[in-house]
Amino acid sequence: MSLARPPRPAHTLFQVCAHDFMNGVGAWSGGAGTAWPLANLALFVPFSVSVPCTAFEGWVSTGATAGGNFDIGVYGTDGTRLTSSGATARTVSINQNTTTMTDLNLVPDRWYYMAMAADSTNNYIATVAVAGLQEAQGVCEMAAAYVLPASATLAKTTRAYLPQFGLNFRTTAL
């Protein structure tokens, strides 16, 4: 039996999303506006790239109700922060791009973590697959991690929550 190869995240596109690296977890039910599970919590999603590319900014799909701030960044597997946007005021109900992240050149043959932290329990578009399925994809977390720290101590996640967020590979995000 010949099996067609499922699509891999295509880094010739302009964005990647955390869900691209989740092997379908969360895709079975779709995303909806859901409260960030814990104020000042950070979530870390492992990813890699197949070609050299540059992450210029981050992005997240925000939910309804005004307020809150978030921070998006990239870490190495040793917990060292490689770049981040810093505190970004949340705008409701849009696909919001950060504007203050230092460009980061990503290379193949290594793992990274894309990270997001939020300072309150405002809504973001997220999927809520069972926590163990998130954990099984390597998702990590750290409490009291807003803004994203220079050095993170990663723990396996226990959250049934994955926001729709990622990185922009276009110099000017649309």
Partner 1 sequence: MTYSAPDPSYMPPILLSTLSMESAGRIPVTRLTAPVSAVWSATNRIVYVPFYLNRTVTVYKLWWLNGATVGTNNLQAGVYDENLARVIAGTSTLSAGTANLCQFDDITDTVIGPGRFYMALWCNGTTATVFRNTAGGVGVYVQTAAGGLPATATPAAIGGGGGAPIPVFGLSLRSSP
Interface with partner 1 by CB under 8 A: which residues? 1-6, 8, 21, 23-25, 28-29, 46, 48, 50-51, 77, 108-111, 129-133, 135-138, 140, 154-156, 158
**Judged by CB, which is closer to partner 1: 35, or 128?**
128
**Judged by CB, which is closer to partner 1: 130, or 150?**
130
CB 140 to partner 1: min, Å: 6
d(CA 58, CA 70): 11
CB 86 to partner 1: min, Å: 25
Q: Which uninterrupted H or E stretch holds 134?
A: helix 131-135
Query: Closest by alpha carbon to 153, among 144, 142, 164, 163?
Result: 142
Give the burial string for 96-107 (b: 16+ CB within 10 Å, else e): bbbeebeebebe
Cβ-based burial of 164 (10 A; exposed 0-12, middle 13-18, buried ≥19): buried
**Judged by CB, which is closer to partner 1: 158, or 171?**
158
**Judged by CB, which is closer to partner 1: 41, or 133?**
133
Query: Is the bond leading into 139 cis (omega within 30 degrees of zero)?
Result: no
CB 35 to partner 1: min, Å: 20
CB 110 to partner 1: min, Å: 7
Coil/strand/helix, residue 146? coil
CB 127 to partner 1: min, Å: 11
**Judged by CB, which is closer to partner 1: 18, or 154?**
154
